[in-house]
Structure 1
Amino acid sequence: MIKDLEKGQSIIGYFAVKDIAEKETKEQKKYLDLTLVDSSGEINAKVWDISQSLLGEMPQKSEIVKTDANVEEYKGVLQLKINRIRRAKADDDYDLDAIIPKAPVPVEKMYAVLCRFIEAISNDSLKQAVAKIIEEHKEKIMYYPAAKTNHHSYMGGWLHHTTTMLLAAERLSTLYQVNTDLLYAGIILHDIGKLYEYQADNTGLGTEYSLEGELLGHIAIGIRIIERAEGLDDEQKLLLQHIILSHHQNPEWGSPKRPMLKEAELLHHLDMIDSRMNDFLKAENQTQQGCLTPKIFQLDRKIYCTG
């Protein structure tokens, strides 16, 4: 497993390709730059001599590969120097469940949690509108990641992020007086646009931005989905659209308006807590207890792993 790799090891193993690109060195020699993953984490890998190391056709994103590699360290981060790499064959002996990164909770259980919170919405028109939107998108919801590379960027990540926010909101709403109908509906729908912003296969690995995602982004797409929702009155649509529009809080993060409802403010912080904690846990999972990680791009800092 990737989390168990140590500098100096020689390994033969199976991984999934999260990203792959052909690049050039300063001497204009071509090499392959890969991000390989298994269920325990991810690691950068290099194929310095393509003609000698690549056996067969070039691997594609989300495919399983067999690798013969050395574990090295570059700028304080472990990296694989690949000696041999090929696409996995049908008769290869590997455990797909141990390779594909996925949410730590079964998707069926998470979907049941989502449905429980929809049922908890007391306003009938709001409940029915949210339920219809979710039912229409159920197929994607069951496997879509919540991001391409950042937090919850794995199979079932959208559902994991959404249900974790809902469970946290349930606790916090006992401390703060909020409209739970609006809060729960807002959480369930705040990232609904991501189901169109990305194109993802059923592993959650081959995720790319769609043209719609590139040109509009998930916030604008979410606004459009609410506008077209049936059964909502003008005020319900307006409040849900504001929650979606403001959930990143700052213009530089993609929100043109800051939260102007207490439910929108709470949702923003729940979103930040869950995304940041997911990034922390991902980093800790690949770092020994009592050690500092390298600088993490999403967090813009190193973190110390407490275990």
Structure 2
Amino acid sequence: MTIKQTYLSDLAPGDLVADLFAVTAAQRREAKNGLYWQITLMDKSGQMEARIWAPTSLSVADVPRGAIAKVEGAVTSYNGQAQINITTFRLVDPASVDLADFMAVSATPAAELLAQVEALLESGLTYAPWRTLCSLVLTDPEIRAALSTAPGAKKVHHAYVGGLLEHTLAVMRLTQSIAALYPEADQEILLVATLFHDLGKAFEISTGLDREYTDAGRLIGHLVLGMEILDRFLAQVPELPEGLALHLRHLVVSHHGQPEFGTPREPMTVEAFILHFADNLDAKIATTRAALAGCPPLSWSDRIPALGRSVFEPLRTPRPASAATAPANDTAQA
């Protein structure tokens, strides 16, 4: 078995690289000097863009998504992002490598994350129809299995196995902390809505090495997929008042916040605002933490396309030696 030695998170502009990587996306394009390949590479530490320029590109007939390739080249910087200019590209047999080296995974095991989600629901829900609804969805074998392996996104935030559970758990905690400040806020419906808000992502993105959108993900998207799942389980809880079911559906359908982010309806209740901003906050912080991983204090990240800016690692107030470290919803395991 071939041993992988270099990970993408270790690479910086100026480095030379010769190692194995997974291909998650590949497209042949045309430039002034000829055809080239635009590729996204991945290993368990993250992802990086790469290019095969002419004339080398002319000898590469195909770059299949999900393939493992031996890549040689140099790391450069393009628009503030590290990128590999590939000089040698050769496909290798996946059976000859350890696939665990190529899939980013949450630092917290999925079973532990799921147990924490269930514990929050157990302690936070007193209303019987809510407890029934959450129990039905979390004991469904297909959904439980999908939740345990789903990434939180394809590229932007929590883009690793277990990322969806990490994100869900963090948003649950955020909504409860925010709702505690406002007496009218319904903390129980926020827990339920958070469980369902991104559940469609478990069926929107494949869990293979290619991390590609499923047909349903491309044609319908996770909001509609999530609403279909929610409606299927709501039909099994007839004792839930229609007004509560309608509010829950509004929370899920409006959580993207603005039309430019794909929401069919903007938030229109206190709880909808809480869920939207909690969801957005966790996504932004996860993106920022991932970009700054390994950066020393007083340094900048590369430009983050999703944020439209670079982010800064500041000097922070020293903590007492006994202070707690990062919470469970940490970045992917390298």
Instruction: Give the TM-score range, shorter chain.
Output: 0.7 to 0.9
Give 2:323's aligned residue: none
- Number of the residue aligned with 2:293: 285
Cα distance change of structure 1 residues 117 and 85 upon mapping to structure 2, 3 Å threshold: same
- How do 1:59-98 residues align onto structure 2 when only pairs under 5 Å count? 59-89=63-93, 92=96, 96-98=99-101
SS in structure 2 opposite 1:249? coil
Q: 1:286 to 1:15 in 2, by over 3 A?
A: farther
Question: Structure 1 counterpart of 2:120, which letter?
Answer: F
Whether the 8 Å contact between 1:17 and 1:60 is mirrored in structure 2 is: yes
**TM-score with structure 2 length normalisation?**
0.80
Q: Aligned to 2:169, which of 144, 150, 163? A: 163
User: Is it true that 1:258 corresponds to 2:286 in the alignment?
Assistant: no
Task: Identify which of 86, 95, 100 aligns with 2:103.
Answer: 100
- Counterparts of 1:109-120 in structure 2, within 5 Å, are 109-120=112-123
Structure 1 match to 2:247: 239
Partner of 1:152: 158
State how far apart, in whole Å, the 2-side matches of 1:285 and 1:64 are: 25
Matched, 1:19 2:22: no
1:202-213 mapped onto 2 (5 Å cutoff): 202-203=208-209, 205-210=210-215, 212-213=216-217
Deviation at 1:270, TM superposition (A): 0.7
Partners in 1 of 2:47 and 2:306 — Cα distance? 15
Q: Work out which of the residue numbers 199, 220, 226 in structure 2 matches 1:222.
A: 226
Shift of 1:209: 4.8
Give the superposition deviation at 1:280: 0.5
Amino acid at match of 1:127: R
1:300 equivalent to 2:304? Answer no
269-278 or 141-150, which deviates more: 141-150
Q: CA deviation at 1:150?
A: 2.0
Query: Under a length normalisation based on structure 1, what TM-score does the superposition of the two structures give?
Result: 0.87
Using a 3 Å threshold, how does the CA distance of structure 1 residues 284 and 192 change in structure 2: closer, same or farther? same
Unaligned 5+ segments in structure 1 are none
> Secondary structure of 2:114's partner?
helix
Question: What's the counterpart of residue 33 of structure 1?
Answer: 38
Inter-partner Cα distance in structure 2 for 1:67 and 1:272: 36
Secondary structure, aligned partner of 1:244: helix
Aligned to 2:194: 187
How many equivalent pairs are there?
299
Deviations along 1:242-284, one digit per CA (max 9) or x if unpaired, are 1012212222222233323322221111101100011111211
Provide the residue aligned with 2:332 in structure 1. Answer: none
TM-superposition CA deviations, 1:155-189 (whole Å, max 9, x none)? 22211110111233344444443322111001001
User: How far apart, in 2, do the equivalents of 1:9 and 1:175 lie?
Assistant: 50
Show the counterpart of 1:5: 11
- Larger RCO, structure (CA 8 Å, separation 6 or more): 2
Q: Which amino acid aligns with 2:231?
A: E
Amino acid corresponding to residue 32 of structure 1 in structure 2 = W
User: Identity of aligned pairs, percent?
Assistant: 26
Residue identity matched to 1:185:
V
Is residue 226–residue 240 contact of structure 1 (8 Å, CA) maintained in 2?
Answer: no
Paired AA for residue 68 in structure 1: E
Alignment-derived partner of residue 330 in structure 2: none
Indicate if the aligned counterparts of 2:27 and 2:37 stay in contact, CA closer than 8 A: yes
